[in-house]
Amino acid sequence: MKGKKYPPFEWNYLRKLWHFLGSILMVGIFYLWKDWWEGSILHRIALIAFVWFLAALLLVIDIIRLYSAKNNQSFQNLPIYGRMMRSIEKDHLNATTYYVLASAILTTAYVGAWCRASTLVMALLVTGVADPIAAWARNRIQRWRPGQEQFYGVWAFATASILVMGVMNRILHAGLSLLCIFLVAVIVALVEAYSRNWMQRLQPLTRRLQRSLTHPGTRWLIQVYPDDNFVVPLLVAVLLGLLRNVL
C-alpha cells in the first residue's frame, strides 16, 4: 500500500550467527545419524523421534513463555536468549521453533522417500546462509538508500541462495540445472522479502480471532504465523522437487 510504513530492518549479529550455526548443526546432525544407521529401521525411527522431540521441546518453551506476561518477561531477561529475540518475537513464537519444525517436516519427508538428502541440505542451508546476508543488506541499505531495502534484500538473498545451492549441487552431485537453481532462488527470495507484508495484512484477522477466544490458555495460538524460517526451507524443498525434473 502506498505510503505504508513498516518497522526498520533490524540487524542482530548474535541472532544471525545463531541462525547460520544452527543450520550447520542441523545438517551435521542429519548426516551423523544418516551415516551411523543408514538402512536400518532403528535409524529411521530414532531420527524422526529426535527431530520431532526437539521441535516439541522448543514449542513447549514458547507456550510457557507466552502463557503469561511474567513468564515472557522472565525469558526476555535471560542473557543470551533475550538478546537474540527480535521485537516481533517477544509476543510470537521464536524463529528457531519454526526452523526446527520445518527441519522435522523435511526429515520426515526424507525418511518417507519424499525428499532427497541433497534437497533437505539445500533447504536448510539456504535459510541459514541467505537469510542473514539479506538481513545485513537491508539493514545497511536502509541507511544509505532508504526505500530500496527490499530490492537489494531480494538481490542479496537470491545471490546467496544461488551460491549455496550451486556449491551443494556439485558436492552432493544433485544434478540440478543452473536454470532450476536460479528460478528457485528468485522465487524464494521474493517470498522471503515480502513475508512481513503478509503479517501486516493478517493482523486484523488475527485480532478478531483473538477476541473470540475465551480461555486465556488458548491465546498463545494467535502467536502462530507463517514465519519465513518455516516457509523458506519448505518452499525451497517443494520447488526443487517440482522443478528438477522439468528444467
- The full set of domain ranges for the chain reads 13-243
Residue 75's SS3 state is: helix
Q: What is the distance between the alpha carbons of residues 227 and 16, in angstroms, rounded to a whole number? A: 15
Q: pLDDT tier at 2 (50, 70, 90 boundaries)?
A: very low
Asked whether the predicted pLDDT for residue 242 surpasses 90, the reply is yes
* Closest of 40, 122, 90, 115 to residue 223, by C-alpha: 90
- Taking residue 77's Cβ as centre, other Cβ atoms within 10 Å add up to 9
Tens digits of residue pLDDT in 203-235: 555 555 555 554 454 444 455 556 788 999 999
- Taking residue 195's Cβ as centre, other Cβ atoms within 10 Å add up to 17
Whether the model pTM is above 0.85: no
Share the mean pLDDT of the chain: 81
- All residues at 6 or more sequence positions from 212 whose CB lies less than 8 Å from its CB, including other chains: none
pLDDT of 1 = 40
pLDDT of 201 = 54
Q: What angle do CA 207, 61, 93 make, to 5 degrees?
A: 35
Tens digits of residue pLDDT in 26-80: 999 888 877 766 666 677 788 889 999 999 999 998 888 877 788 778 877 777 7
